[in-house]
Amino acid sequence: MLLFQPLIGLLLISLAHGDYCPISFSPLDVVAEYGASFSVNCSVNSITHQFGLSWERFNNTMEDSEEISRIVDKVTDWEMNVTCYMHSNETQCSQDLPITIYKTPDSVSISTVNHNGPMMEGELYELQCDVHNVAPVQDLTVNWYKGQTLLNQTTFTEASKTPVNKTATLLIRPDRADDGAQYRCEAELDLGAEGPPNSTESALNSEVYYKPQHSSSTETIIKDDKVMLDCTVKANPAPTYTWRSDHLEEKISSSELKSSALSPGNYTCTATNALGRDSKVFIVKDSRCPVQIIPWRAVVRYGDNVSADCKTSVLHKGMGWEASEGGVPMTKNQSLITWRVSELTEWDIKPFCYINYKIGDKDQCKEELPVTVYKTPDSVFISVNHSGPMMEGELYELQCDVHNVAPVQNLTVNWYKGQTLLNQTTFTEASETPVNKTATLLIRPDRADDGAQYRCEAELDLGAEGPQPHPTISSNPLGITVYFAPQIQFCSDWSPLTETSLDSYPSNLHSVEGKPRPDISWRHKSSPVSSSMPLTRYDSGLYEIIARNDLSNVSCSMNITVEYPPELNCDKSYEVKEKTLFKLPCIADGLPKPECFLYKNGKMIQHDFYPNWNDSGWYQLTAHNQRGTSNSTFTINILYAPVFYDSQEKFVVGEDSNITLECYSTGNPEPEVWWSFNNRNISTGRRHINIERATSTSAGVYTCSATNKFGRSDKTFIVEIKGLGYVFPYYILILLGVFVLFVVIILLVVLMWRRRKSRGHYEIQSEMQPLSNGGPK
């Protein structure tokens, strides 16, 4: 679409150009007021042949004229269109008359938004200009003026042919210079050169309130008949004036004072209106009196001694001190005289030194010594408007009574909480004689203030000439008790040892704050539980602690895991086949889950292991967690197939000898043992056989067999009898020998085969050991 816009534009231009319509209007465009009349001529610029002109429509009267006229008596249609048509034998076209129908506003009114009466200096106000019934709004401009100064202009972005009401606003922040200024708003329709100049306006006279403010805060005045102390200052509302000075007895409310009627010194004038006040100090000076007073100011404790020198360097006709006490009569020929009082008991002593010396038209001048007489308070006492404990967050008033102190204008009451200065109170009135004063302080104590000590301190700051450090008197401390709602400081999961009670919940006592001391209760599985009940291992779970006092209650939940030492549940003995995995057989209970250690003969071994046939015996199992250790001993009985120990296997003896064949075997369970000779059972259940007085029939192969449920083992013994050579012919001996050799080879093969088969399972002990090595059954 965006792409097409320029194309369409081009097309329109070329069309307009190609179909150029040679119509023109006089005037070129019409600006008409609604309800008024206007006339317009339509003409053809270039000469074409065979043409006609008409207004509005083709079927309207066609005039065969170069110019036609149209008069509209009264414009009543805001959307009015006026079109002129032309057609000749060559072309046919039309042209719209550009027409603007306007209406001046019915009214324009200026006002302040949400405000009546005088404005305050420095505040923000909104002016509003309401323009009623104006068209077209796009040609409207609202001009804002202060006096003749254009402040701003407001225009409107929307467009409308029909009349609308419009409101424009302007923010202003008036100052004192704007008091009495006139604000105007002007609605102007800018209708181009054709339109009539047109504006309607409304004005608003502003009144601005502002406080008095002198251009300078001090002024030095030399006493003179013509000079006035002029305190006049502009302000709205008009200010009132008050004067203060040590030299003024009565109240003066005029804005001016005549300087010649005043004594040297400071005169402070304050101009006040509803918005504020401003003071100006006039320093009234005489032409200088040639004396110097040292010190220039005296500060003395009531009842103490005081002195001051009056010095001059000029020749004079006499000088002296005048005072209600300690005055010095006029003396001549002296350049230094001293005023001295050994025990000053007058509060408002005003000594001055005079000198008879001509200045201007006067024969005498004087210089005053300002004396400040002070007295530290008799007592300072703190109290509170409340008895009993305070509640956190509530407001209380502390009161500090200072008895018999002077001068009060130099008094400051300092408020302390502990060592912290909280606030200071000063007093506006002035008094030279001692007064009783009360200062107050509002406090809103919180829990941290429980037990806090408040005190007030009266301090006299008498200036650089006064005592240093400043004399201070402190009250006794006032301790306060603050009641506050419970607060649970520590609330996290807990793992106590079994048999512990909830009362030992970490810092149960100290983690729950509150005053009065909150009651603590517990809930578990939505029912109350006694905090003194010992917890058992089955009591783990979610618990709620509730702290309650007169002010409120709070609660908090935590997981409690009851821990307990390991417990072993082992049998007295276990049986296991050799070389099969022996796993820890006991149930090891405990929280946290215990670690287990297995010991044999005091040596720690792996608790899952493959036992050898000789590993039977006592074992100790130790289970350990943070909560304790538990031991248990048991026997492990290793079951294994019969095994033979090494022993003599070949016996060569003479005839009639006695032979004992021993069959050393072991096995668990104890194997069943029997002997066979030449494949015939000869003895059962015995481990050894005795061959008494051996004969040739005794020679041969004896076999010892051992069996239990895990297997069977055989061991062969060979018995040879010597001295049989002369009974048998030589060849028989050889045949027998060959035969025996053959049998032995076969037996050896069998034996080798058996040995090979059992290798890796067990080894045969070479020492002679008791047969009971198999251990208990």
Query: What is the contact surface with ligand NAG in residues (CB under 6 A)?
Result: 26, 41, 49-50, 67, 69, 89-90, 152, 403-404, 423, 435-436, 612, 614, 622, 629, 631, 674, 681, 684, 762-763
The first and second tokens of residue 750, run together, are 């069998």
Smallest separation (angstroms) from ligand NAG to the CB of 442: 6
The first and second tokens of residue 648, run together, are 């003599």
Count of residues making up the chain: 777
Q: Using CA atoms, how far apart are residues 527 and 301, in angstroms rounded to an integer? A: 74
Question: Strand, coil or helix: what is 328?
Answer: strand
Nearest 10 degrees: Cα torsion 599, 601, 603, 606: -40
Q: Which is nearer to ligand NAG, 56 or 67 (CB)?
A: 67
Residue 704 vs residues 661, 682, 701: alpha-carbon distances, Å? 9, 10, 10
Bridge-partner residues for 600, per DSSP? 603
Q: Is the peptide bond before 516 cis (omega within 30 degrees of 0)?
A: yes
Question: Strand, coil or helix: what is 645?
Answer: coil
Distance of CA 730 to the CA centre of its chain: 120
Q: Which of 533, 466, 539 is nearest to 504 (CA)?
A: 533
Q: Is the peptide bond before 237 cis (omega within 30 degrees of 0)?
A: yes
Q: Which is nearer to ligand NAG, 73 or 90 (CB)?
A: 90
Instruction: For 631, list phi and psi in degrees, rounded to 5.
Output: -115, 150
Q: Which is nearer to ligand NAG, 406 or 535 (CB)?
A: 406
Q: Which is nearer to ligand NAG, 305 or 681 (CB)?
A: 681
Beta strands 362-368 and 23-26, pairing class = unpaired
Q: Which is nearer to ligand NAG, 385 or 527 (CB)?
A: 385
Instruction: Give CA angle at 331 (327, 336), nearest 5°.
Output: 80
Q: Which of 603, 605, 567, 600 is nearest to 586 (CA)?
A: 567
Q: Which is nearer to ligand NAG, 622 or 698 (CB)?
A: 622
**Largest CA-CA distance found in the chain, in angstroms, rounded:** 191
Q: Which is nearer to ligand NAG, 150 or 336 (CB)?
A: 150
Q: How many helical (H) and strand (E) elements, i.e. helices and strands, does the chain have? A: 3, 62
Smallest separation (angstroms) from ligand NAG to the CB of 432: 12
Smallest separation (angstroms) from ligand NAG to the CB of 59: 22
Q: Which DSSP state fits 511?
A: H
Q: Which is nearer to ligand NAG, 178 or 367 (CB)?
A: 178
Smallest separation (angstroms) from ligand NAG to the CB of 631: 4
Q: Which is nearer to ligand NAG, 622 or 637 (CB)?
A: 622
Q: Which is nearer to ligand NAG, 546 or 661 (CB)?
A: 661
Nearest 10 degrees: Cα torsion 107, 112, 114, 118: -140
Smallest separation (angstroms) from ligand NAG to the CB of 26: 4
Q: Which is nearer to ligand NAG, 355 or 460 (CB)?
A: 460
Instruction: Give CA angle at 659 (658, 664), nearest 5°.
Output: 150
Q: Using CA atoms, how far apart are residues 684 and 762, in angstroms rounded to an integer? A: 25
Smallest separation (angstroms) from ligand NAG to the CB of 766: 12
Contact 500, 506 (CB under 8 A): no
Q: Which is nearer to ligand NAG, 513 or 672 (CB)?
A: 672
Nearest 10 degrees: Cα torsion 30, 32, 36, 37: 0
Beta strands 659-662 and 617-625, pairing class = unpaired
Smallest separation (angstroms) from ligand NAG to the CB of 665: 14
Q: Which is nearer to ligand NAG, 403 or 537 (CB)?
A: 403
Q: Which is nearer to ligand NAG, 359 or 764 (CB)?
A: 764
Output the CA torsion sign for 472, 478, 479, 481.
Answer: negative
Q: Which of 476, 480, 333 is nearest to 392 (CA)?
A: 480
Q: Using CA atoms, how far apart are residues 257 and 241, in angstroms rounded to an integer? A: 11
Q: Which of 521, 519, 452 is nearest to 482 (CA)?
A: 452
The first and second tokens of residue 222, run together, are 């030399």
Residue 514 vs residues 447, 555, 739: alpha-carbon distances, Å? 8, 13, 110
The first and second tokens of residue 12, run together, are 């329109």
Output the CA torsion sign for 587, 589, 593, 598.
Answer: negative
Question: Strand, coil or helix: what is 7?
Answer: helix
Smallest separation (angstroms) from ligand NAG to the CB of 433: 8
Q: Which is nearer to ligand NAG, 9 or 98 (CB)?
A: 98
Q: Which of 321, 264, 313 is nearest to 290 (CA)?
A: 313
Smallest separation (angstroms) from ligand NAG to the CB of 436: 4
Bridge-partner residues for 619, per DSSP? 634
Instruction: For 138, list phi and psi in degrees, rounded to 5.
Output: -70, -15
Smallest separation (angstroms) from ligand NAG to the CB of 423: 4
Smallest separation (angstroms) from ligand NAG to the CB of 48: 8
Q: Which is nearer to ligand NAG, 413 or 547 (CB)?
A: 413
Smallest separation (angstroms) from ligand NAG to the CB of 403: 5
Q: Which DSSP state fits 432?
A: S
Smallest separation (angstroms) from ligand NAG to the CB of 175: 15
Nearest 10 degrees: Cα torsion 463, 466, 467, 468: 30
Smallest separation (angstroms) from ligand NAG to the CB of 160: 21
Smallest separation (angstroms) from ligand NAG to the CB of 139: 19
Smallest separation (angstroms) from ligand NAG to the CB of 434: 6
Q: Which is nearer to ligand NAG, 244 or 600 (CB)?
A: 600
Question: Strand, coil or helix: what is 259?
Answer: helix
Smallest separation (angstroms) from ligand NAG to the CB of 110: 16
Q: Using CA atoms, how far apart are residues 338 and 648, in angstroms rounded to an integer? A: 145
Q: How many CB atoms lie within 10 A of CB 349?
A: 20
Q: Which is nearer to ligand NAG, 90 or 249 (CB)?
A: 90
Smallest separation (angstroms) from ligand NAG to the CB of 43: 8
